[in-house]
Amino acid sequence: MSHRLVVVGAGYAGLLAAKRLARKLRHSDVTVTLVNASDRFVERVRLHQLAAGQRWAAPSLRQQLSGTPVQLVVARVTAIDTTGRTVCTDGAPGAIGYDTLVYALGSRARLDEVPGAAEHAYTVADLEQAARLRYRIAEIASAGTVAVVGGGLTGLETASELAESYPGLRVRLFTGADDVGSGLAPRARAHLRRALERLGVSVHPKTVVATVREDGLDTRDGTSYDADAVVWTTGFRAPELARAAGFATDESGRMIVDTTLRSVSHPEVYAVGDAAAAVSVSGAPSRMSCQSALPMGRGVADVLAARLAGREPGPVRIGYAFTNISLGRRDGVVQFTHADDRPRRFVLTGRAAAVFKEAVVRSTVGSGPRGDAGSDGSGS
Ligand SMILES: Cc1cc2nc3c(=O)[nH]c(=O)nc-3n(C[C@H](O)[C@H](O)[C@H](O)COP(=O)(O)OP(=O)(O)OC[C@H]3O[C@@H](n4cnc5c(N)ncnc54)[C@H](O)[C@@H]3O)c2cc1C
């Protein structure tokens, strides 16, 4: 019987892993099956653009996989049975057996941090959520107020994109930090501040949001702000599936893996991308980003090809080169970093940074040949 290799999740990490595995194992007795909730490759790094009313082509996964022997199953994974070595799905086929599993289900918004966020806040963490926000923003664009909570990269990109696309929209950005862009070099931080000011985004530093309401939010110091939409961008956590299945996970639900991306609790299972807590070159856990997901997708394919051929692979290197922030379509900041993610002095700003970021986004796995359908989040 052939060896059944199943990859769950066709984002940046899972799609790259499946394609590379199929290429490396094409002359072997291994079948590669890729399971994903949708038949499209969702470029998550563009979801703030979707929320701001832009359209882009969402590549078809079948097109991405054409010419490869990868079998695509479009279904939502509901559970993993580690005893029976089976992935359970909500629709057909219902159950998919595996000999080796690659877990690549990405991440979602942290909506359980304060009361009211899960009920009332919008997010840009997945296609459905970003599409919901897009429709709400279209309703309030001419004179409404949007409150973006979180001063990290997603919050900065979302606030800037909305402000640039809709000059009539009042955009407030709330962060518990002293300033925006902590961790960036001073020149990058100064550019961020100037760009937000130019776009008319009001920044509320040192302001911790305590509650989200249907019509606004309350801060920990007792101040209330009205808003027609609250967007929650304080960070991501991995799906509950890994923890529920009994894998060793960290506090964010990420599967803990060794330097070859193998689960420390279940040796027949590997994890990649946002859903994996791997060790980066600094020794710190991998950062949720494409810069971690892509080397992990490549790396897991190399590791498995070696192990299935009876060779012991070396460690997968997860290092960083830059932090890339878009500030609308015509501005941005690129903070170049050491491999261990510490900022270098070299920073790119303005239009050059916007062009650099767009080139990086296009070069990622899903943005090769364009897909055959437009995406406005409606599935049309
Ligand atoms: C708005 C935004 C902007 C970002 N900008 C940047 C940036 O500029 N640079 C950067 O490096 N990173 C950025 N990120 C982070 C980056 O998108 C993630 O780190 C990256 O997508 C992780 O890739 P992944 O393959 O692990 O997961 P994902 O890309 O999330 O893919 C996971 C896949 O699993 C599927 N899936 C999930 N659950 C199930 C299930 N139960 N059953 C079946 N399929 C399932 C999903 O549909 C998806 O196809 C941004 C994220 C967001 C939201």
* CATH code: domain of residue 54: 3.50.50.60
Give the residue from 269, 284, 308 where a domain finishes.
308
For residue 379, being part of any structural domain is answered with no
For residue 277, being part of any structural domain is answered with yes
Distance 221 CA to ligand 1 centre (A): 34
For residue 75, being part of any structural domain is answered with yes
53 and 174 belong to one structural domain: no
Place of tokens 């001419």: 142
81 and 145 belong to one structural domain: no
For residue 303, being part of any structural domain is answered with yes
For residue 167, being part of any structural domain is answered with yes
pLDDT value, residue 183: 84
Instruction: Say yes or no to pLDDT of 374 above 90.
Output: no
pLDDT value, residue 371: 32
Q: Is the CB of 11 under 6 A from ligand 1?
A: yes
Residue from 232, 229, 153, 159 nearest 200 by CA: 159
Domain CATH for 209:
3.50.50.100
Instruction: Say yes or no to pLDDT of 27 above 70.
Output: yes
pLDDT value, residue 1: 74
Q: Confirm if 97 and 85 have CB atoms less than 8 A apart.
A: yes
Atom from ligand 1 closest to the CA of residue 107: 30
Q: Is the CB of 46 under 6 A from ligand 1?
A: no
Q: Is the CB of 150 under 6 A from ligand 1?
A: no
Distance 12 CA to ligand 1 centre (A): 7
163 and 253 belong to one structural domain: no
Count the neighbouring beta carbons within 10 Å of the beta carbon of residue 71: 15
162 and 140 belong to one structural domain: yes
For residue 378, being part of any structural domain is answered with no
362 and 296 belong to one structural domain: no
Q: What's the mean pLDDT in 117-121?
A: 98
153 and 227 belong to one structural domain: yes
Residue owning the nearest CA to atom 12 of ligand 1: 289
329 and 270 belong to one structural domain: no
209 and 334 belong to one structural domain: yes
Mutate to test the pocket of ligand 1, among 38, 44, 335 (most ligand atoms within 8 A of CB): 44
**Residues of the domain holding 168:** 109-235+321-369
pLDDT bracket for residue 378 (50, 70, 90):
very low
Mutate to test the pocket of ligand 1, among 240, 290, 348, 360 (most ligand atoms within 8 A of CB): 290
For residue 265, being part of any structural domain is answered with yes
140 and 205 belong to one structural domain: yes
pLDDT value, residue 369: 32
265 and 341 belong to one structural domain: no
Residue owning the nearest CA to atom 38 of ligand 1: 105
Count the neighbouring beta carbons within 10 Å of the beta carbon of residue 111: 19
Domain count, the chain: 2
Mutate to test the pocket of ligand 1, among 45, 156, 287 (most ligand atoms within 8 A of CB): 45
Distance 34 CA to ligand 1 centre (A): 16
129 and 257 belong to one structural domain: no
Residue from 228, 224, 185, 184 nearest 204 by CA: 224
Instruction: Say yes or no to pLDDT of 366 above 80.
Output: no
Q: Is the CB of 12 under 6 A from ligand 1?
A: yes
Distance 153 CA to ligand 1 centre (A): 14
pLDDT bracket for residue 365 (50, 70, 90):
low
pLDDT value, residue 364: 81
Give the residue from 279, 308, 337 where a domain finishes.
308
pLDDT value, residue 55: 85
Predicted structure pTM score: 0.94
221 and 249 belong to one structural domain: no
pLDDT tens digit sequence for 235-294: 999 999 999 999 999 999 999 999 999 999 999 999 999 999 999 999 999 999 999 999
Q: Is the CB of 14 under 6 A from ligand 1?
A: yes
Beta-strand pair 209-213/216-219: antiparallel
Q: What's the mean pLDDT in 229-235?
A: 97
pLDDT value, residue 59: 87
Instruction: Say yes or no to pLDDT of 303 above 80.
Output: yes
For residue 380, being part of any structural domain is answered with no
Question: If you average pLDDT over every residue of the chain, what do you get?
Answer: 93
**pLDDT over 90, % of the chain:** 91
Instruction: Say yes or no to pLDDT of 377 above 70.
Output: no
Give the residue from 266, 284, 308 where a domain finishes.
308
pLDDT value, residue 368: 37
Edge-to-edge strands of the sheet including 95-97? Answer: 77-81, 86-89, 95-97
